[in-house]
DNA sequence: TTGTAGGCGTTATCAT
DNA sequence: ATGATAACGCCTACAA
């Protein structure tokens, strides 16, 4: 484990010169630079980032805390963040909070302790607190879900849900149900709200029995949907709040022998790769996940580089992609 | 940004005492511990992990370098790694090499510079070099794909491919094609080898025209499969090397009007959540991704904690799940 | 242009 | 049981 002074000794210069040479600083004799480079290579020298960051009082690492690594929506966000961070010279470390508050707060502590330059987070819930970051002045950007007093990049998911539901109404479905995520998760609440907006606008009664909440996972949605079909009377339409849930809901519909589109019109959030593989293909609300991440990273870098602006909230639009699952036949 | 000496001052003790108290060390007057705790809380003190690691010459952070964050197989591995690391008191940072050698080697450099305790990596290719880690003595475990001279956790993917192909043969398919990943990626090569093993065992000629290579993504596989169907003559069976590719291959089959199972028997690697959603459901080779990650992490922790064992290679088995896509009717 | 030396915030050693 | 103090490896005034 060679250090800077080993390099200095081998190159017969001072550590200061090594530091300057290796960091491409100002005026160093090119001949010395060469000697230093050679010595460094010979020793397999890699600067100690810990020491460097300690001294400079800043790191070039961003933390991205997402609520579910196994959800393609969040991994797409991750790629967006990564791409802009990397080109700006920052590394990204990804942390998976798994929708669990304790894991999330542990990672927030780690972020503080490792003194990351900034944090992009999709908060697990309403009680998510980034106080620990705020106290230290670590810049934060919330993505996908809101968070008080910090920059945010969101999707206009309520409008999207409203449009999706209106689309089902226009297609002739009348008893439209909604399977959404747990209460307290803003995207889940918003999608439900949009659904209700659309029903109200269409002058249709909002039957509470047609609404189910489940974890953002296939299993929960499958149970919820099965139960819905058993107990809610006639159901001929369904809005599902994410693609993991869609897997479960579609299983349940099939088990119940209900044909997609013909018997039950379905729209789901997230344009999963398999959406066009099923028969009929699934109508979806496509969210701009990659952009979400890219915009969030950009905002964060602005903050880090001291561009002290006001708290900004950026809202991106989702897009309805009509396919066979929301057509009567 | 409160430091340990701020806490010391406020609690009117020495920094040494603060350090001992906060780290639950040996014998410290309980009364002082309380005073220190109170002072720390009051100041919102969080120890500086950089300084700590610099001093202790070790970090409690593992790096996991995977070749594609958007591939569920790798995110499942990530969860395995994470679960065991977290319970052992380590944090995991996830790095996405995106199957690109330059991103991979950048992350390897970062891992060294940040002095992570160890690295789990799914190497992008044959030329992946962890020399930089070896020189520093950073423990490494390769996962899913082999790597010279380091601990490895692999799947017996050649055998699995052979079984899958034999299953197609047994089901009566005769002109079986194979869509696999790029050359140089070991899993891709192994799956092809297993496919050939099975054909040979069945005394069937291996027609090179029935083999296609494509990126481990839907688009490439779709093109490859479409071309295969156009140019390879009769094709009534298909082995696909991962679930992303399966999406593309199935699209291509549908576009070509070939019915799953009836016209073309299909088996794909990876038990994707949507596999049972299509009609008929997809026969798959399920890989123990989570275990892969968990075992790799365990091996890595052993190394880190100085359990100097010989290079070990663990091979886990995959499991064929027969569904409708490999049945004639 | 190059070198010397102080300090970033901890932990650990050595006294007391 | 507690306190002073020397590293850990690097960067950067300041000096030469």
Range with lowest mean pLDDT among A248-262, B23-37, B198-212: B23-37
pLDDT value, residue B44: 93
Q: Does B46 contact A109 at a Cβ distance shorter than 8 Å?
A: yes
pLDDT digits (tens, 9 = 90+) for B262-297: 999 999 999 999 999 999 999 999 999 999 999 999
With beta carbons less than 8 A apart as the criterion, state whether A115 and A254 touch: no
In a shared domain, residues B150 and B218: no
Cα torsion through B13, B14, B17, B18, rounded to 10: 80
Which band of pLDDT confidence, cut at 50, 70 and 90, is reported for residue B59? very high
Per-residue pLDDT, B222: 98
Residues B198 and B281 in one domain: yes
pLDDT mean across residues, chain B:
95
Q: Which nucleotide is nearest to B52 (CA to C1')?
A: C10
When pLDDT is cut at 50, 70 and 90, the band that residue B309 belongs to is: confident
Q: How many domains does chain B have?
A: 3
In the predicted model, what is the mean pLDDT of chain A?
A: 95
The pLDDT of residue A146: 95
Share of chain A above pLDDT 90, in %: 91
Residue A26: is its pLDDT beyond 90? no
pLDDT of residue B306: 79
Parallel, antiparallel, or unpaired: how do β-strands B319-321 and B283-286 relate? Answer: antiparallel
Minimal Cα–Cα distance from A242 to chain B, Å? 14
User: Which residues put CB within 7 Å of chain C, the nucleic strand?
Assistant: A 13-17, 20, 26-29, 31-32, 51, 54-55, 57; B 1, 3-5, 15-16, 19, 22-23, 45-48, 51-52, 54-56
Q: Which of B262, B257, B264 is nearest to B234 (CA)?
A: B264
Split at pLDDT 50, 70, 90, the class of B103 is very high
Using a 7 A cutoff on CB, list residues near strand D. A 1, 3-5, 15-16, 19-20, 22-23, 25, 45, 47-48, 51-52, 54-56; B 12-17, 20, 26-29, 31-32, 51, 54-55, 57
- Which of A19-28, A161-170, B235-244, B315-324 shows the lowest per-residue confidence on average (mean pLDDT)? A19-28
Q: Do B272 and B168 sit in the same domain of this protein? A: yes
Domain shared by B114 and B186, yes or no: no
pLDDT (mean) for A301-320: 92
Give Cα separations from B57 to A1, A31, A54, B89, B109 (angstroms).
11, 34, 14, 17, 18
We report the CATH number of the domain holding residue A126 as: 3.40.50.2300
Question: Tens digits of per-residue pLDDT, A209-223?
Answer: 999 999 999 999 999
Whether residue B44 and residue A78 make contact (CB cut-off 8 A), yes or no, is no
The verdict on B135 and B124 lying in the same domain is yes
Residue A310's contacts (CB-CB under 8 Å, 6 or more residues apart) are none
Cα separations (Å) of A155 from A130, A143, A210?
21, 9, 25
**Looking at the partner chain, which of A49, A86, A94 has a beta carbon nearest the beta carbon of B94?**
A94
Q: Do A93 and B96 touch (CB under 8 A)?
A: no
Does residue A274 register a pLDDT over 80? yes
In this structure, how many other beta carbons lie within 10 angstroms of the beta carbon of residue B172? 12
Given an 8 Å threshold on Cβ–Cβ distance, is B113 in contact with A48? Answer: yes
Residue located via tokens 């992350």: B107
Of all residues in chain A, the one with the smallest CA distance to B69 is A75
pLDDT tier, B74 (very low <50, low <70, confident <90, very high otherwise): very high
Model confidence at B33, pLDDT cuts 50, 70, 90, reads: very high
Which bases of chain D are under 7 A from a protein CB atom? 1-5, 7-13
- Read off the pLDDT band of B36 (50, 70, 90): very high
Dist CA A20 CA A24 (whole Å): 6
**Separation of alpha carbons A133 and A143, rounded Å:** 16
Interface contact B278-A274, CB threshold 8 A: yes
Mutate: best of B61, B78, B114, B259, partner A, most A CBs <10 A: B114
The answer to whether A190 and A219 are in contact (CB under 8 A) is no
The share of chain A scoring above pLDDT 70, in percent, equals 100
Do residues B184 and B273 both lie within one domain?
yes
Give the residue-averaged pLDDT of B62-67: 95
Residues sharing a CB contact under 8 Å with residue B231, sequence separation 6 or more, in sequence order: B209
Does B60 score more than 90 pLDDT? yes
Q: Residue A148 — pLDDT band, cuts 50, 70, 90?
A: very high
Residue A325 pLDDT class (50, 70, 90 cuts): very high
Residues B164 and B281 in one domain: yes
The pLDDT, as a whole number, for residue B228 is: 97
Residues in chain A: 329
B126: pLDDT confidence band, cut at 50, 70 and 90?
Answer: confident
Nearest to B50 among A53, A94, A251 (CB): A53
Same domain, B234 and B169: yes
B311 and B261 in a common domain:
no
Q: Which of A70, A76, A250 sits opposite B76 (nearest CB)?
A: A70
CATH number at residue B27: 1.10.260.40
Residues of B in contact with A96 (CB under 8 A): 78-79, 82, 94
Structural domain range at position B213: 157-287+320-326
Q: Which residue of B has its CA nearest to A56?
A: B50
pTM of the entire predicted model? 0.94
Do B131 and B212 fall into the same domain? Answer: no
Residue B127 predicted with pLDDT over 90: no
Closest residue to C6 (CA to C1') is A55
* Residue A119 CB-half CA count within 13 A: 32
Residue A130 with chain B: CB contacts under 8 Å: none
Is the model's pLDDT at A329 over the cut of 80?
no
Residue B104, exposed/middle/buried by CB under 10 A (0-12, 13-18, 19+)? Answer: buried
Q: What are phi and psi of B170, to 5 degrees?
A: -60, -30
- Contact A1/B136, CB-based, under 8 Å? yes
Together in a domain, B306 and B262: no
Q: Specify the pLDDT at position B27.
A: 80
Q: Do A114 and B49 touch (CB under 8 A)?
A: yes
Task: State whether A148 and A195 are in the same domain.
Answer: no
Is it the case that residue B26 has pLDDT exceeding 80?
A: no
Strand order across the B176-180 sheet: B211-213, B176-180, B237-240, B265-269, B283-286, B319-321
Å from A61 (CA) to C10 (C1')? 21
pLDDT of residue A108: 94
Percent of chain B with pLDDT strictly greater than 90: 92
Q: What is the pLDDT of residues A177-201, one digit of tens each?
A: 999 999 999 999 999 999 999 999 9
Task: Check residues A135 and A252 and name the one with the higher pLDDT.
Answer: A252
Q: Cα dist. A113→A89, B224, B276 in Å?
A: 21, 48, 44
- List the alpha helices (DSSP H) in chain A: 4-11, 15-22, 30-43, 49-56, 72-87, 101-113, 131-136, 157-170, 186-201, 218-231, 243-255, 289-304
Residue B186 belongs to what H/E stretch? helix B186-201
């Amino acid at each position: 484990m060679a250090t800077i002074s080993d390099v200095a000794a081998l190159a017969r210069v001072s550590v200061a010169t090594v530091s300057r040479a290796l960091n491409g600083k100002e005026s160093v004799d090119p001949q010395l630079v060469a000697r230093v480079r050679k010595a460094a290579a010979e020793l397999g020298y890699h600067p100690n980032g810990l020491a460097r960051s300690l001294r400079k009082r800043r790191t070039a690492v961003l933390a991205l805390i997402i609520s579910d690594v196994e959800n393609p929506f969040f991994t797409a966000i991750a790629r967006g963040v990564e791409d802009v961070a990397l080109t700006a010279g920052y590394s990204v470390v990804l942390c998976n909070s798994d929708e669990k508050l304790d894991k999330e707060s542990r990672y927030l502590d780690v972020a503080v302790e490792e003194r990351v330059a900034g944090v992009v987070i999709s908060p697990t819930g309403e009680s998510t607190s980034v106080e620990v970051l705020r106290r230290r002045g670590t810049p934060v950007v919330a993505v996908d879900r809101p968070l008080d007093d910090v920059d945010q990049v969101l999707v206009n998911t309520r409008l999207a849900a409203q449009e999706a539901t209106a689309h089902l109404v226009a297609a002739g479905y009348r008893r439209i149900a909604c399977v959404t995520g747990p209460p307290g998760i803003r995207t889940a609440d918003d999608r439900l709200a949009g659904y209700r907006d659309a029903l109200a606008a269409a002058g249709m009664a909002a039957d509470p029995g047609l609404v189910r909440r489940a974890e953002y996972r296939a299993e929960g949605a499958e149970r919820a949907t099965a139960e819905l079909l058993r107990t809610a009377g006639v159901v001929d339409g369904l809005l599902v709040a994410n693609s993991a849930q869609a897997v479960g809901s579609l299983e349940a519909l099939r088990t119940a022998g209900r044909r997609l589109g013909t018997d039950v019109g379905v729209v789901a959030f997230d344009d999963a790769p398999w959406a066009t593989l099923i028969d009929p293909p699934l109508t979806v609300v496509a969210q701009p996940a990659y952009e979400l991440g890219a915009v969030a990273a950009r905002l964060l870098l602005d903050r880090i580089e001291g561009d002290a602006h006001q708290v900004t909230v950026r809202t991106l639009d989702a897009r309805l992609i009509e396919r066979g699952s929301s057509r009567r036949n």
